[in-house]
Amino acid sequence: MPANLTPQYLEAEQAFKEAKTTAEKIAALEEMLAVIPKHKGTEKLQADIKRRLSKLREEGERKAKTGRQDPFLIERHGAGQVVLVGFPNSGKSAIVGALTRAKVTVAEYPFSTALPLAGMMQFEDIWIQLVDMPPVTEEEMPAGMSGALRNADALLIVVDVSSDDCLDQLEGVLRHLREKRILRDDCEMAAGVRGHTLTGCMVAATKIDLPRSRDNLEILKEYVPPALEMVPVSVASRENVETLRRRVFDLLGIIRIYTKVPGKPPDMGQPFVLKRGSSVVDMAAAVHRDFPSKLKSARIWGSARFDGQSVPRDYILHDRDIVELHV
Ligand SMILES: Nc1nc2c(ncn2[C@@H]2O[C@H](COP(=O)(O)OP(=O)(O)O)[C@@H](O)[C@H]2O)c(=O)[nH]1
Ligand SMILES: [Mg+2]
């Protein structure tokens, strides 16, 4: 092994070893390439990473070509899929660029994104897929786009608050989403909208580094439906970029659960990702489909009153709990 590999590099390499999907593998290799110390001793390794990357990318493209011809539908990867929707120039691509390593085009001219483009956003120990979409306008949402929005796990509405038409942007997007029955009129996510799995929707108010943004933000706050959280953010100054990352995770309504074998330390590698509200039995089912019927008892580290507490089968788990299943 070449000398001077940093902890960041080894971490990225570990993520690659644990990656299950092509997108996760590509994201991990990109990370490895980005953080590898650039010197003579790592040249061969760098070339090797690049070779693996281009092979995976080719594979991905080949799959896309032979797959179903719906240009807006992006195959879901990672712990959840979040699709960005907004007017031209609102800053969608800039957000995807800031939170992932995807090669997005950020441009001052509108319609610079013609097709959806996905990138993997790391949140602590999991990866979440962000999908940059072509813009919607006052008049129209591109034909075929509603399927991709309905199929997402969550939506991020992007509004440029530096612009005096930010209210029109918000209302325009909401109108499309309501007309297409993607959102209920009150923007609540609860049951009532058929045929899709949306668990959340949120507004990113972008470009808050620009002069008019603060005033516009105050106005916009009055009009955002109560069901939608709004996160002000600037990609240029990076203000709130990390807050946005966490809010996107929260929006998906997922929890990360780690497993533990009796008498051994917990496995803090790749967590199981479950829906918020999942119980010990759901966790058992995620580990193995035979487990729920065999499950005798469980112990929890984390959310229980004390570490290692025995809990019933219907105990509701929390993010980052460690579970020891006894079968
Ligand atoms: N000042 C500032 N400019 C931004 C910010 N985010 C995006 N922009 C600029 O706004 C323009 C449109 O951004 P882009 O991400 O391509 O918008 P999209 O059409 O929604 O994908 C580009 O010129 C970006 O440089 C930001 O946070 N602050
Ligand atoms: Mg764009």
Question: To test the ligand 1 pocket, which listed residue (85, 93, 166, 233) has its Cβ within 8 A of the most ligand atoms?
Answer: 93
**Structure-block tokens of residue 276:** 């918020």
CATH superfamily for 81-252 is P-loop containing nucleotide triphosphate hydrolases (3.40.50.300)
Fold of 255-326: Ubiquitin-like (UB roll) (3.10.20)
Q: Where in the chain is the domain with CATH 3.10.20.30?
A: 255-326
The angle at the Cα of 197, spanning 127 to 234, to the nearest 5 degrees, equals 50
Ligand 1, atom 16, lies closest to the CA of 106
pLDDT digit string, tens, across residues 75-95: 889 999 999 999 999 999 999
The pTM assigned to this predicted structure is: 0.78
pLDDT digit string, tens, across residues 21-68: 676 788 788 888 888 988 889 999 999 999 999 998 888 777 666 655
Ligand 1, atom 19, lies closest to the CA of 89
**Structure-block tokens of residue 71:** 């240009």
| Separation of alpha carbons 263 and 141, rounded Å | 56
Quote the percentage of the chain above a pLDDT of 90: 61
Q: Where in the chain is the domain with CATH 3.40.50.300?
A: 81-252
Closest CA to 173 of 237, 99, 233, 224: 224
Residue 241 contacts residue 121 (beta carbons within 8 Å): no
Regarding the beta carbon of 217 and ligand 1, being less than 6 Å apart is answered: no
